[in-house]
Structure 1
């Protein structure tokens, strides 16, 4: 049995490194796989009616839904279940929770001892736990802007919005913010690989966490979980490529979409009717938190 899993895992790893001409995804519909989306640079982002039908909403609370759906790399062994958290920003206030580098936390730890209803990781950080790029918490700077991170996620009056480096220099008093890269979707178009993230790998597979600002005004988070071994086997950090992540973001109807730190840092916890945790592999120094207004 161990040899069988080892062989299958090796095959999956080989597939992740094989050069693919154009990324394609299958969607699981009514228990069967259906050819779904192909990579198109500058493609328009619009809510996909088929995806809307197949998302299974497993839990909810006023202004909040938790669901998931399955995708597969076309012709391959790699499957991912993608968790979706949908939040109405009119009902929730966002904030940042920063820690000292030596006192990092997980989303599960924070949601377990607070009244938060949503927690996720945010941006990149160094091995010593110090964040990379801008960190601003309630107007107090923790680190400075970095020119190579082209997205600033700002929080003003509890509301999230994406902006640029220039926008990060003009935030209102008392604002919070952090920096990430790349843009996946901007102004309703896929921009990864053209105007953002040009030098990033298009073939590397990893867990991916997307922050999506929907064309309907809702905020969505989508976490890709590797489900090659079994549904819920989220602790194996092999998942989507960034182009595939952008394709999913476009199908979710993101007006703007940003890749948060992925891989072993990617983690989400949400409190609806029950508490749902999708843990990462390490503690992080900066967490994005939502409370009810």
Structure 2
């Protein structure tokens, strides 16, 4: 048996102590954050955008299907009013007849089948949220919510090569600790700037959702409203539900509150 020099043991103990300290610090920081937080941010291209961050161990994420509410399509605000969600944003692409264009799982039930296209799939299981390529999607597990859309923006922390196109955007990313971030831009933002923003946020994977006139967000909590209306109603949206805890709101510069700031 080889003996370890005393100096080596000391360095090992010091290294372990530093690792434990970092883990404790990060855990304490995470515990201090609100389950659902909102802030208005500036992206690399100088475009302002709404940003939500949610801890899905404390915030319920549900796919909202207008068809289940007796409607062909609804706005984010209408979805929120009908479900009691804390925040609602638009989801995947849809066809001219309002049919979702790709995989859709609502409350654990597959409502629309997977489409063989070069997109990504966001899903939520007991293990947490994830984003994978269409070809890597596996349906042999219990999935609470899922939708298919694209393109992917960030994969394993790296920005993908994207077409330099500008539009209003809605996008979602998964952080290494299992939280998600959702960005909705009131103005046009380039896809590569959006990807760069998520990479700088530390996201492991990010996915572009439906955009343009579909992009919309409605948040209502403790008398404060964040309203970013879209140009059209949508058949599918994503709802975030916070029980008994208030969302953390950071007002946009120039707005004391978001009651009428959209």
- Same fold flag (TM > 0.5): yes
Alignment partner, residue 54 of structure 1 = none
Q: Could you report, residue by residue, the CA deviation over 1:146-202 in whole angstroms, capped at 9, with x for unpaired residues?
A: 111421111224943212324433242353311011111111111243xxxxxxxx2
Alignment partner, residue 89 of structure 1 = 56
**How far is the alpha carbon of 1:216 from its aligned partner?**
4.2
Instruction: Say whether 1:217 aligns with 2:184.
Output: no
Distance 2:43 2:108 in 1: 40
Instruction: Say whether 1:64 aligns with 2:36.
Output: yes
Instruction: Say whether 1:246 aligns with 2:246.
Output: no
Q: What is the root-mean-square deviation of aligned Cα atoms in Å?
A: 2.3
3-state SS of 2:166 partner: coil
Alignment partner, residue 85 of structure 2 = 116
Distance 2:138 2:215 in 1: 27
Distance 1:64 1:170 in 2: 29
On the 8 A contact 2:123/2:143 being kept in 1, the answer is no
Structure 2 gap segments, 5+ residues each? 1-32, 244-262
Structure 1 gap segments, 5+ residues each? 1-60, 74-78, 194-201, 227-238
Instruction: Say whether 1:282 aligns with 2:232.
Output: yes
3-state SS of 2:114 partner: coil
**CA shift in 2, pair 1:171/1:272, >3 Å:** farther
**How far is the alpha carbon of 1:71 from its aligned partner?**
4.4
On the 8 A contact 1:182/1:192 being kept in 2, the answer is no
Distance 2:64 2:186 in 1: 24
Which structure's CA Rg is the greater one? 2
**CA shift in 2, pair 1:245/1:289, >3 Å:** same
**How far is the alpha carbon of 1:140 from its aligned partner?**
2.6
**CA shift in 2, pair 1:266/1:171, >3 Å:** farther
Out of 98, 115, 126, the position equivalent to 2:95 is: 126
**How far is the alpha carbon of 1:209 from its aligned partner?**
1.3
Q: Could you report, residue by residue, the CA deviation over 1:200-228 in whole angstroms, capped at 9, with x for unpaired residues?
A: xx2331111120112343211111222xx
Alignment partner, residue 160 of structure 1 = 129
On the 8 A contact 1:65/1:272 being kept in 2, the answer is no
**CA shift in 2, pair 1:118/1:212, >3 Å:** same
Which piece of structure 1 moves more, 111-120 or 84-93? 111-120
**How far is the alpha carbon of 1:252 from its aligned partner?**
1.7
Runs of 4+ in 1 over 4 A off after TM superposition: none
Please show how residues 6-21 of structure 1 align to structure 2 within 5 Å. Answer: none
Count residues with an aligned counterpart. Answer: 208
On the 8 A contact 1:210/1:257 being kept in 2, the answer is yes
**CA shift in 2, pair 1:217/1:144, >3 Å:** closer
Structure 1 length normalisation: TM-score?
A: 0.64
Structure 2 length normalisation: TM-score?
A: 0.72
Please show how residues 236-275 of structure 1 align to structure 2 within 5 Å. Answer: 239-273=188-222, 274-275=224-225
